[in-house]
Structure formats: C-alpha cells, structure tokens
Chain A
C-alpha cells in the first residue's frame, strides 16, 4: 500500500488553501447535448447497410422520375428492333414488341413504386385511425376492434387478395385496394400499443395538471414516440407490397398492358427466358434491389430508434 512518501516534493503552502468545488462544471453534461432526432440520424448513419439502401433508393427514385422525361423513346414506341440484346443504343435491350427496355424499366419503376407507396399509405391511414380509436376508447370498443383485427390476421392474406382481384377485374386501383386490404392490421396494432402506453402516463400527469393539457400531451408525447414505430412499419410495408405486386403480376393479376409494372415485365420476361434473358434480368434486378433497399433502410431506422442503446 502506498503510504506517506518522505520524498514528496515540497508543495507550496498556498496550494493548501480551501477553494471548494466547481459545481457549475459538474452540472454540465459531459457529452454534448444532442436533440432526439439528431441522435437517431447519427445512429442511422453508422449502419453501413442502411446507408447503402438509402443511396440505392435515391438513385432508383431519381431515375424513375427523370428517365421517362428525358428519354428519346417512349415506353410503348416501336423502335424497329425486336428482341435485341443490350447495346449502346438500347442499354437494356428491346422486347418482342420492339420497345426500348431501358425506358420501360424506369416507367415500370414509377408504377411499381407508386403501387408500393400508395398501398403503404392506405395501410398507414386506416391503421393509424383504427389503432388510435381502439386505444383511446378502450373497453368494449377496443375489444371488438381488436377481435376483428385478429380474425383478419387469421385469414390467409394471399387467398383473399387473389380472389378479390379475380372479382374486381384487373387494373391499378383494384390492385392497390387488394394490397392494402389486410396490411393495415399490423400498423393498427402498433399504433394501439403506443396509444395505450401513453394513455397510462397521461393519467398520472393529468391528475396533477389541468385536463386541458391532454391534447398537448398527445401532440408532444404520442406523436414523437409513435412516429418512430409508424415510420419503420411503413418503410417495411412498401417492399412487401412491391413483392406481392410482382407476385400477382406473374399470376396475371397485375396491371393491364400497355402499362407495365416491374412485375408484369418480369412475367413477360419469363416467357422469353431462353431467347432473351435480359427481359427478365433487368426488372428482376431492380425489384430485388428496391426490396432490399427498403428493408435495409427500414431495419436501420428501427435500430436507430431503439431506445435500448447497444454500445
């Protein structure tokens, strides 16, 4: 054990004046104070996969917006060359109706992305409304609403979708309706659980403050907390919608020609797989990239918003 060291250097006596603590210093938080969203953003940017996904999304969306405007061909224009492999003039080749694949892929991007985003948006609206009403009402209303949700979950999703499409005739709107018809349940559950947890806190506060603050609390607490879960759920619904859309298109239940989504293009590409594989490969690659990108971003958001900080 270290003890009094006789060789201790002589220390000047005024070093032993009592000066007291520096309490202002210690009250400052040792780390820079960052706002909630900035912290979330920081954590998100640490996730390499999520960043890659984000970049891919920007590129794809950018191309989807720009290319059909700028391209010299339109998506249903006959360019005279049938089933040619990718070349300098036609970067993605041409199909059996002599249409330029490149512009068709990006036109298809618009449609597939539109379908995915709209279906997710509808799920969002219905889900949030349903979850809020169920959570805020509580009691029997809540019970009934969640029972309905349970039964809908039990029903096999794709069976319903396929049958609906058979009934409603094909087309863009029926497709979107069919896609959103059972997807909202997940969103509703999450919103409801957030509402319930906020409600419990709210009562405690409400007993101490005036009731008028209730809406304020909802705005200040419910929205930011639930927002995270809602955004994550939406981001993960979109790739599922795109996946299902391409699946349905393959079954012949997708959008009608000459409109083409990636799914219908993949479906047509299948038929020419042995002779013109690029007709399947390009839509397939972009479907996969988009699904991956949304999943990566969604996962990244979920990890970034997780209050249980790991590391």
Chain B
C-alpha cells in the first residue's frame, strides 16, 4: 500500500509541475496585461508597476521566481486588488465553496443512488420511468441553465427561496441543487445499470435459493456490490462540482473561490489565476488518489497496482 501511495505522489508532483508550468507560459502568451484595461496610465507609472511585479524581467527569470514562490506557497499579491494577498483571497473564499460543494455532493450521491435503486427494483414499471425521466433531465439540462430557471421561477416569481447571497441555510438550497442535479442523473444511471447487472448474477440467485426475501437480498447482497462502480465516480463528481461552482457562484452571487477564479480570468489578474489554478489542481489530484484508496478498501478483491496485500 505504501509503495502504491508513493508512486501516486510522484505522479501528482509531475502533473503539478506540468500544470504550473503550463499555466505560467500560457499567462505569458496571453495578450493584454492586468493594467491595460484600466484607464490610461502614464507610462512612468506603468513602468513602475511592471517593475514591482517583475513583469519586465526576461521570461526565464520570471519562471524561476515563479517556481520558487510556488514551492513556498507564496502566491503573491493580487494585481487587481492591490494589497490583498492571493492566499488571503483563497483562505477567505474557499470555505464557502467547500460548504457549497459538500452539500452538492451529498445531494448528488443521495438523490442519484436513491433514484437508481428505485429504477432498478421497479424495472420497466412506473417508478422506473419516472426516475429515469428525472435522471435524464438532470443530465441534459446544463447546471447554469437549471440555476437560472430555478432562480427565476422559485425565487423571483414564487418567492420560496432567496434570490442570491450566502447568509444562511436557505441560501444554500437552490445553488447546491443546481449543481447536484446533473450529477445525480449520471449517478442514477450508473446505479441503475449496476443494480440490474448484479441482480442477474449467481450469488443473488443463491441468496434467493437460501430462502431470503426479495428486499433482504437487495440490501444485504446486491446493494453492496452494485455501489462499487459508483465509488469510482466520486473523482469526476468532485471535478464537476468544482467547475459547477464557477458559474453557480456567479449566478447566485456567492462569494466563493469559484467566483474569484472567474473574475480573475476576466480581469487578467495573473497572480490570482495562477494561485487558484494550482490550488484547485492539488485538491483534484489528491481527491482522485483518496478515491482510489477508498475503492481498494471497500472492495476486498482489489489489489492496488504495485501494492502488497
């Protein structure tokens, strides 16, 4: 197990290096500078600003400086909001995104698995059709469109939920629902086909041959095996929730990290872009690693590549 973790960490470091470097060079290639979009600055001042941020150094010097500072997790100051350190921005807004993200994930998994199980157990009967339709809606309607529609009909017109902001539990419902529904649909489909597949296997037949009832068989035998593939979806789920947050936080005016990321892109705020990118990438890479380990723990048959059991 330890050997496996070590190998994965090496991969993570390589991937991080590639991402960091790629981000840097892309920023270099990008037209425009953070100062260009503002009103015309006198040349002298612009020179000073460039010097302060080291933007007038040759690229390899900037690259070296960048790598060094990244290693020490020093993402510098925001170029747009002078005086605000990138790390502060991240520290402030990330917890909010975490809350939103976790809620969305729990919703997605809970709803998705439930719909999938119902679909499978009432195969080809009414509950199956209803669940399948809901799942399809979730998959087909992009989350931001869903968010807009929810906002319009349930907040603006019906007044059941607050329209935007992040000031209490009721503020979290619509945003997390908007993010979760799309993934709930995918999870429902996955759960459904997995349950159907397991229901046809020999050990389920044997369970019935033992005299176990239909529901006992499902909960004690089928379910555990059917949910295994769902665990592998957790990685993409997290990635999807993060990207979902970019737009949903904008629509619902939630001060999370996703929104800052998007704004920093529009503003060409390089330091914040790079800091946030690195941050997100680390989270995602570690999340996938954790999911893989989790999967091997849950399924006694799995031996991780390069691990000794």
Query: Is A–B contact present in the complex under a CB 8 A cutoff?
Result: yes
Residues of A in contact with B (beta carbons under 8 Å apart): 49, 150-151, 154-160, 162-164, 166-167, 169, 239, 243, 246-247, 250-252, 266, 270, 273-274, 277, 280, 284, 287-289, 291-292, 295-296
Assuming A163-B277, A167-B26, A273-B152, what are 10 further A-B pairs, CB within 8 angstroms?
Answer: A151-B14, A151-B15, A158-B243, A160-B22, A163-B22, A270-B148, A284-B149, A291-B142, A292-B139, A296-B136
CB distance from B267 to the nearest CB of A (A): 11
> How far is A139 from B24 in the complex, measured between Cα atoms in Å?
34
Chain A interface SS verdict (over half) = helix
> How far is A162 from B26 in the complex, measured between Cα atoms in Å?
11
Contacts A155-B281, A163-B277, A251-B247 given; does A246 touch B142 at CB 8 Å: yes
Residue from A150, A156, A163, A295 within 8 A of B284 (CB atoms): A156
Contacts A159-B280, A169-B31 given; does A291 touch B139 at CB 8 Å: yes
Q: Is A273 a contact of B148 with CB atoms below 8 Å?
A: yes
> How far is A96 from B112 in the complex, measured between Cα atoms in Å?
39
Residue from A159, A250, A274, A291 within 8 A of B140 (CB atoms): A291
Which residues in B have their C-beta under 8 angstroms from that of A150?
Answer: 11
Which residues in B have their C-beta under 8 angstroms from that of A151?
Answer: 11, 14-15, 18
Which residues in A have their C-beta under 8 angstroms from that of B149?
Answer: 280, 284
Contacts A154-B285, A155-B18, A164-B26 given; does A247 touch B142 at CB 8 Å: yes
Which residues in A have their C-beta under 8 angstroms from that of B228?
Answer: none
> How far is A280 from B281 in the complex, measured between Cα atoms in Å?
33
CB distance from B14 to the nearest CB of A (A): 7
> How far is A162 from B31 in the complex, measured between Cα atoms in Å?
15
Interface size class, chain B: 35 or more
- List the B residue with the shortest CB-CB distance to A161: B243
> How far is A296 from B139 in the complex, measured between Cα atoms in Å?
11
Which residues in A have their C-beta under 8 angstroms from that of B242?
Answer: 156
Q: Is B141 a contact of A166 with CB atoms below 8 Å?
A: no
Q: Is A154 a contact of B152 with CB atoms below 8 Å?
A: no
- Kindly supply a per-residue 1/0 record for chain B positions 153-164, scoring 1 wherever the CB is within 8 Å of any chain A CB and 0 otherwise: 000100000000
Residue from B18, B141, B268 within 8 A of A284 (CB atoms): B141
Interface residues of B in 138-185 (CB under 8 A from A): 139-142, 144-145, 148-149, 151-152, 156
> How far is A274 from B157 in the complex, measured between Cα atoms in Å?
9
Q: Is B142 a contact of A159 with CB atoms below 8 Å?
A: no
Q: Is A163 a contact of B140 with CB atoms below 8 Å?
A: no
- The reply to whether the CB of B293 lies closer than 8 angstroms to some CB of chain A is no
Q: Is A250 a contact of B280 with CB atoms below 8 Å?
A: no
CB distance from B207 to the nearest CB of A (A): 21
> How far is A159 from B276 in the complex, measured between Cα atoms in Å?
10
Which residues in A have their C-beta under 8 angstroms from that of B266?
Answer: 252
> How far is A178 from B141 in the complex, measured between Cα atoms in Å?
22
- The reply to whether the CB of B234 lies closer than 8 angstroms to some CB of chain A is no
CB distance from A160 to the nearest CB of B (A): 8
> How far is A253 from B27 in the complex, measured between Cα atoms in Å?
16
CB distance from A283 to the nearest CB of B (A): 9
- The reply to whether the CB of B45 lies closer than 8 angstroms to some CB of chain A is no
> How far is A250 from B266 in the complex, measured between Cα atoms in Å?
12
> How far is A210 from B227 in the complex, measured between Cα atoms in Å?
48
Q: Is B15 a contact of A159 with CB atoms below 8 Å?
A: no
Residue from B11, B15, B141 within 8 A of A288 (CB atoms): B141
CB distance from B5 to the nearest CB of A (A): 15
CB distance from B302 to the nearest CB of A (A): 18
- The reply to whether the CB of B33 lies closer than 8 angstroms to some CB of chain A is no
Interface residues of B in 261-297 (CB under 8 A from A): 262, 265-266, 268, 273, 277, 280-281, 284-285, 288
Which residues in A have their C-beta under 8 angstroms from that of B288?
Answer: 154
> How far is A164 from B277 in the complex, measured between Cα atoms in Å?
13
- The reply to whether the CB of B23 lies closer than 8 angstroms to some CB of chain A is yes
Q: Is A247 a contact of B144 with CB atoms below 8 Å?
A: yes
> How far is A247 from B146 in the complex, measured between Cα atoms in Å?
12
Which residues in A have their C-beta under 8 angstroms from that of B89?
Answer: none
- The reply to whether the CB of B90 lies closer than 8 angstroms to some CB of chain A is no
Which residues in A have their C-beta under 8 angstroms from that of B23?
Answer: 163
- The reply to whether the CB of B71 lies closer than 8 angstroms to some CB of chain A is no
Which residues in A have their C-beta under 8 angstroms from that of B11?
Answer: 150-151, 154
